[in-house]
Amino acid sequence: MAAKEDLQLLGLAVSPFAIRVRIALNLKGVSYENLEQNLMDKSELLLKSNPVHKKVPVLIHGGKPICESLVILQYVDEVWTAAPSILPAEPYNRAVARFWAGFVDDKLFPSMVGILKATTEEERAAKVSETLAAMGKLEEAFAERASGKPFFGGDSIGYVDLALGSTLIWLEAVRRMFGVAFIDAGETPLLAAWAERFREAEAANGELPDADIAVEFGRTLQARWAAASAAAN
């Protein structure tokens, strides 16, 4: 790691959005102070640093906050220009990478969270189908974009890898909770092999907590959602 800069990360161990930022900083060899947040009792620093969304992650560089994980990844790539690059250099490939990272956040992750939020078996089954369909699209995207290379980003972890790889603990947590596998050697063989490479990458080492932690956090969220629903009714 490089000498520690005036850099702080407000995050949460099980947050996929914070996980992707931590791995990106590791890729660049940047040292930082990790400030774990309690989202049930948000700190004044978090509320001050991200007054719009009040969420993690927030990267504070030289006292200036940068919010939203995909924005932070681009910022990290532009500020710390040492290899490996997170985003492709060619404009079209950069645009495609942004599209698929957005797909993870706009389609895959919400459908996966919907499985946790579902209050009926029919609703949960529909969200499972949506999640499986999203994974099928990502399997196709990997086949097209990686062109035989180990990662979406080519020979090293890139923008789409960070976006999708950070969800692996939650995909596994949902599997443990509901018995549905979303990355499977039979249905998504390319992603199954990719997931193993991602987990074993040096930059990801130690940044993907055991899925049991996510299971526990997920059950806490389910209890909160149920209580909020009961109070509303």
Confidence of residue 4 (pLDDT cuts 50, 70, 90): low
CATH number at residue 163: 1.20.1050.10
Looking at the structure, tell me whether residues 98 and 130 fall in a common domain. yes
For residue 171, the enclosing domain spans 91-213
Domain for residue 84, yes or no? no
pLDDT of the residue at 65: 98
Residue 123 lies in a domain: yes
Does the model's pTM come out above 0.75?
Answer: yes
Amino acid residing at 96: V
Task: Quote the CA–CA distance of 202 and 204 in Å, as a whole number.
Answer: 5
Tens of pLDDT, residue by residue over 96-122, are 999 999 999 999 999 999 999 999 999
Same domain, 103 and 206: yes
CA diameter of the chain? 54
Angle at 107 between CA 101 and CA 111, to 5 degrees: 135
In a domain, 226, yes or no: no
* Interatomic CA distance for residues 123 and 105, integer angstroms: 20
In the chain, the number of structural domains is 2
pLDDT band at 1 (very low <50, low <70, confident <90, very high): very low
Length of the chain: 233
In a domain, 221, yes or no: no
CA distances from residue 114 to 99, 124, 221 in whole angstroms, order as listed:
22, 7, 12
- Cα angle 85, 197, 104; round to 5: 65
Q: Which residues contact 222 (CB under 8 A, 6 or more apart)?
A: 116, 117
Residue 225 lies in a domain: no
Calculate the average pLDDT of the chain. Answer: 95
Does residue 59 belong to any structural domain of this protein? yes
With 60 as the cut, is the pLDDT of residue 2 above it? no
Strand partners, 35: 10
